[in-house]
Amino acid sequence: MAELEGQSLAAQHNDPSFPDVWDEINWRGLVHVSTNADELKRLLAGPPVTYYCGFDPTAPSLHLGNLVQLLLMRRLQLAGHRPLGLVGGSTGLIGDPRPTAERTLNDVATVNEWVGYLQAQVSRFLSFEGANPVRLVNNLDWTAPMSAIDFLRDVGKFFRVGTMLKKDAVSARLNSDAGISYTEFSYQILQGMDFLELYRTYGCVLQTGGSDQWGNLTSGTDLIHRSEGASAHAIGTPLITNSDGTKFGKSEGNAVWLDPAMTSPYAFYQFWLNTDDSDVIERLRIFTFLPRSEIEALEASVAAEPFRREAQTVLALQVTSLVHGASATQAAVAAAGALFGRGDLAELDATTLEAALRELPNTTTPAWTTVAQLLVDTGLSPSLGAARRSVGEGGVYLNNERVDDDAATVGVAMLHGRMAVLRRGKKTLAGVFVE
């Protein structure tokens, strides 16, 4: 898998088959909504401009949706433009409005700690080298010294309550049973102030963010227009959903995290590998640096031979390598093969094996538990009688070794002294952890 090393920053590049970066990011589906498209095309095809994206530390890790922003930022950086990575030490203390309920406010020490985590993650995806290195900024630096009176006089006077009430995030909450507090109502002013501060300090003229943040993005462009008499731009990226419309994110409880301690590289790899045929080409465009020609070839493969799942394999390899590196990706691939008997389980390191087993139905049990009982405890068999029949028919495996005796215990075949892989048939797996 030497080609996975090509995911390094130094090896990344935009596709030269496109006339400019605007055309490429549109083809890749990274632009769901924007300010004037013709002006943006001219702006991004011209001399370097400064742009930013903000990430709020409302959790100790970035997630799949944030990765879309990081990859858009990287593409603009590769085109010669100057990125600012903002981690919101102040906005993270509030959090943008959720559709249905107030956020739980985290304490200052926790938010400050998470700021460091997110800055480290942002730094991995953007280059600090060359003529346009990324600069990390924290909005707490300019909000903390500001008094409430200064905030209301210098910034609040430019906002109209009627306009603020029409923002989707606000109107949704106003129409809910929970209502909305002034704290979350004020979030759009704070985000708008960030754009104004970066415009004044760095000449920043473009902000990117998720399309569900469009109201907050335009708060900044409107504020710059009102206070400075200048034009600024915004790009809203699509929300990442399954073909059935299911969204991934913190508020949905199914976030795919970039921190390996929160979503293991194995689970991360499996997430991409399990992408539906109807979603895989869109995700190849958004999440990989593969050129258009290779993606179109994979699209043809999906249409002609979907059973091969070639596009899903490429997607999983590319994105896992991008986020976790080639070594972790190779370990995830090896684990997937070994679980189904196509590799040596004993060669898997304990961390990777445990992560893989946690993704399966699993049980924690004493070492003397019989294999028949384990089949029932893990849900691989509906009853002890069915479990014994499966063993008798030669269809049960413990660590890829066929089990001939249903009274055999798990203790004889532990991996790393505490784990085992239980399999019924060719594809039905479970994990066993020994107390």
Structural tokens at position 304: 């002609």
Q: Is the pLDDT of residue 253 over 50?
A: yes
Q: Is the pLDDT of residue 251 over 60?
A: no
Residue 242, SS3 per DSSP: coil
Q: What is the mean pLDDT of the chain?
A: 92
Q: How confident is the model at residue 243 (pLDDT cuts 50, 70, 90)?
A: low
pLDDT at 334: 95
Q: pLDDT tens digit string along 156-170? A: 999 898 888 888 778
CA pair distance 20, 44, nearest whole angstrom: 8
Ranges of H-type helices in 288-397: 292-304, 310-324, 326-339, 350-358, 371-377, 384-392
- Among 52-66, 103-117, 233-247, the minimum mean pLDDT is found in 233-247
Q: What are the domain boundaries of the chain? A: 31-237, 360-435
- Among 129-143, 226-240, 335-349, the minimum mean pLDDT is found in 335-349
Q: Is the pLDDT of residue 213 over 60?
A: yes
CA 50 to chain centre: 24
In which element (H, E) is residue 55 found? strand 50-55
CATH 3.40.50.620 for the 31-237 domain, yes or no: yes
Sign, CA dihedral 400-403-409-411, equals negative
Instruction: Read off the DSSP letter of residue 20.
Output: S
pLDDT at 254: 72
Count of all residues that appear for the chain in the document: 435
CA pair distance 114, 280, nearest whole angstrom: 32
Share of the chain above pLDDT 90, in %: 80
Q: Is the pLDDT of residue 388 over 60?
A: yes
CA pair distance 417, 420, nearest whole angstrom: 9
Q: Is the pLDDT of residue 2 over 50?
A: no
pLDDT at 230: 97
Contact 341, 397 (CB under 8 A): yes
pLDDT at 5: 52
Q: What is the mean pLDDT of residues 39-48?
A: 98
Q: What is the mean pLDDT of residues 249-273?
A: 86
DSSP string covering 58-90, please? SSSS-BHHHHHHHHHHHHHHHTT-EEEEEE-TT
CA pair distance 293, 285, nearest whole angstrom: 11
Nearest to 116 by CA among 179, 68, 62, 171: 62
For the chain, the first-to-last Cα distance in angstroms comes to 37
Quickly name the fold that domain 360-435 has. Answer: 3.10.290
- Among 95-109, 324-338, 414-428, the minimum mean pLDDT is found in 95-109
pLDDT at 248: 63
Beta strands per DSSP E along 88-157: 135-138
Residue 432 CB coordination number (10 Å): 27
